[in-house]
Structure 1
Amino acid sequence: MGRVLTFFDPLVRLLLVAIFAASVLPVSGQGAVIARSVSDVAIFLLFLLNGLRLPRAEIWRGMRNARVLVPLILWVFAVMGLAGWGVSEIAEGILPASIALGFIFLGVLPSTVQSATAYTSIAGGNVANSVVAAAVLNILGVFITAPIMAFVANSGTPGVDLSGLQRIGMILLLPFVIGQALQSRLGALVQDNRTMIGWMDRIAIAIAVYAAFSSAVVQGLWSLLDASGWALMLGLVIALLAFAFVGAWMVSGVLGLPREDRISFLFAGAQKSIAMGAPLAAVLFPPAVAGLVLLPVLIYHLLQLVISAPLASRFTPPQ
């Protein structure tokens, strides 16, 4: 057990604290309104910092690497999106509708940035490709994930707040654009204080999770599922996780990519970002729905770290 716990990064520990706090001390009424406002400010700051620290040159260079990037985009958003929809069809009618919707949301989320890059480095993969690909995927995620979820809402699935698309522009896109515009002036300040900025990122994500889970707890989150329901949800997450890792590795082989690029494709293609998922859920879904939608994402995020650490070590080239 201690070995598994070493895989928990500071973000995972903060998320567990946020979930525990929301379970014990959920906010409701006016407190929930205040909590969501604080969450919105934290998310705005998170995307402002992302805009400040992501060099435009890296974005353009990554977008020119079509041999890796185009298949990766199709895998992350199209194939994994269809896989998430398939899992949601299994869950529908057995699990609450918002949790079933969460599997679709999980499927169309972009990749992680930090952990995908870290594990690619440990495994001896192409770190530059991983950094650029994950960054581009996260930018595209704002434009792809939200419209897909809006389409799902129009097709009859309950839960998506279509007015959230406007909030996407104001709370996610606007601060990112501002950050890019101010990068030449403030970018160095962000780079010089990476430790502090990293903690600000994690705290912003934890605040978004706390606000979402508070609303879900008030709505009766922990009484919605019995033991068999939790077991089914965990099993479906594990199935989706296995499909993501095995499928990403096989696709990279079919593409004929060199080993280093296959490793970067594996981790960027199989991992899903709670750093993007929590803010998107908080902005796109009503408060009572967001916490339930995030459940599959949080479980997937934890399990992907547990799997990625030994997997990366196995790929590590001999010294």
Structure 2
Amino acid sequence: MGIFRLDPMMVKLIITVLLASFLPARGDFVVFFHWLTTAAIALLFFMHGAKLSREKIIAGSSHWRLHLWVMFSTFVLFPIIGLLFAWWHPLKVGDEIYTGFMYMCILPATVQSAIALTSLAGGNVAAAICSASASSLLGVFISPLLVGLVMNIHSDNAGGSFEQIGSIMMQLLLPFVIGHLSRRWIGGWVERHRGLIGKTDQASILLVVYSAFSEAVVNGIWNRVGVTTLLFILVGCLGILFVVLAINLLAARLFGFNRADEITILFCGSKKSLANGVPMANILFPASAVGIIVLPLMIFHQVQLMVCSMIAQRYKKKGEAEAARELASHQSKAVVESQK
């Protein structure tokens, strides 16, 4: 089935990890890739800012109850689950794996896939655009704060929460804001070249992953991460996603949201952003730890796409069946009326 195919981005990530495993950057190339990665991250968030349309955000911003729940799911529910999972410690794997799960849980939602899946399933697309965009923007502030709050990180490249936030603002938020302010001049070009922008996004992420895994390989990542650990990460990602989806579905029905809003809550409240997470990890964590820490996020990226694609297809088929029944009912009534 097409649903079970690997996401093309996941294939590229696997190839990048293999490349870093066999040909890691060493010596002067480490410095070169450090500066190249910094420039790529700045370009990535500049493009994110340039793509963000204020008109689309305003169009869906009035649905405050929906947005409030999505933000709660993203920045409260997920982190609580991550903390409980790390506290439970079901399997004796490296502490960095559990750090990776917690880090994944504090990240903002994806934008593109959340909107695409909401649209496919017949949800409230305008609200999805607003929620996903707001989550991505707020995550630049909230995620580093949560890192400092729940993970108590003290690393060589981030000496505390305020220093982390300063690094994030300079390397991520500033390019984002400049990109968004530049939209009035480059907005038309960005809209016409969305495919090129998407490739720039992917290239930036792959570059960060290569740099991170090169450092991790030099520090012996594959001596610490085996098949058992990878299977544990996969099962952990599936479990966390299932719990979040179940709670979001229950909340949507408990609070009386309609079907379109339920779909939006389900898909916007259950995603974690690879595009935000990998560059941010490169700033927040020691270079030697980034490769292992982003493993749960990379696997969750594929898991969320596969599982949510199946759910979206079911919603779509159910919606089409209901529409067909409604049409048949109207036609039947029309025939009865014409025979009177």
TM-score interval for Structure 1 and Structure 2 normalised by the shorter chain: over 0.9
* Conserved? CA contact 1:97–1:158, under 8 Å: no
Between 1:130-139 and 1:32-41, the stretch displaced more is 32-41
Alignment of 1:94-133 (within 5 A): 94-133=92-131
Residues 231, 15 of structure 1: CA spacing in aligned structure 2 closer, same or farther, 3 A cutoff?
A: closer
Give CA deviations for 1:22-44 in whole Å, capped at 9, x if unaligned.
11211134322221221111110
Q: 2:194: which partner in 1?
A: 194
Q: 1:247 to 1:186 in 2, by over 3 A?
A: same
After superposition, residues 23-62 of structure 1 pair within 5 angstroms as 23-62=21-60
Structure 2 counterpart SS, 1:270: coil
2:57/2:126 contact within 8 Å kept: no
Calculate the TM-score normalised by the size of structure 1: 0.92
Runs of at least 5 residues in structure 1 that lack an aligned partner in the other structure: none
Asked if 1:68 is matched to 2:66, the reply is: yes
CA distance in 2, matches of 1:58, 1:3: 29
Distance between the aligned counterparts of 2:138 and 2:298, measured in 1?
Answer: 21
The separation in 1 between residues aligned to 2:125 and 2:262, in whole angstroms, is 11
Cα separation, 1, equivalents of 2:96 and 2:30: 20
Q: Secondary structure at the match of 1:191?
A: helix
Equivalence for 2:265? 265
Q: Match for residue 275 of structure 1?
A: 275
Q: Distance in 2 between matches of 1:148 and 1:303?
A: 24
Q: In structure 2, what is the equivalent of residue 140 of structure 1?
A: 138
TM-score (norm 2): 0.87
* Range with bigger deviation, 139-148 or 54-63: 54-63
Give the 5 Å matches for 1:225-304. Answer: 225-304=225-304
Q: SS in structure 2 opposite 1:15?
A: helix
Number of residue equivalences: 316
Q: Give the drift of 1:11.
A: 2.2
Residues 159-192 of structure 1, C-alpha deviation per residue, up to 9 Å, x if partnerless? Answer: 9833443221111010011112111111111111
CA RMSD in angstroms comes to: 2.1
1:66 maps to a residue whose letter is: W
User: What is the distance in 2 between the residues matched to 1:36 and 1:245?
Assistant: 37
Aligned residues of 1:101 and 1:157 also touching (Cα < 8 A): no
Compare CA radii of gyration and give the structure with the larger one: 2
Read off the aligned partner of 1:145 and give its amino acid letter.
S
Residue 63 of structure 1 deviates from its aligned partner by 4.3
- Please list the CA deviations of residues 119-176 of structure 1 after superposition, one character each: whole Å capped at 9, or x if unmatched: 111111111111111010000111101111022343x787983344322111101001
Q: Distance in 1 between matches of 2:171 and 2:155?
A: 23
Using the TM superposition, give the Cα deviation of residue 64 of structure 1 relative to its aligned residue in structure 2, in angstroms.
3.8
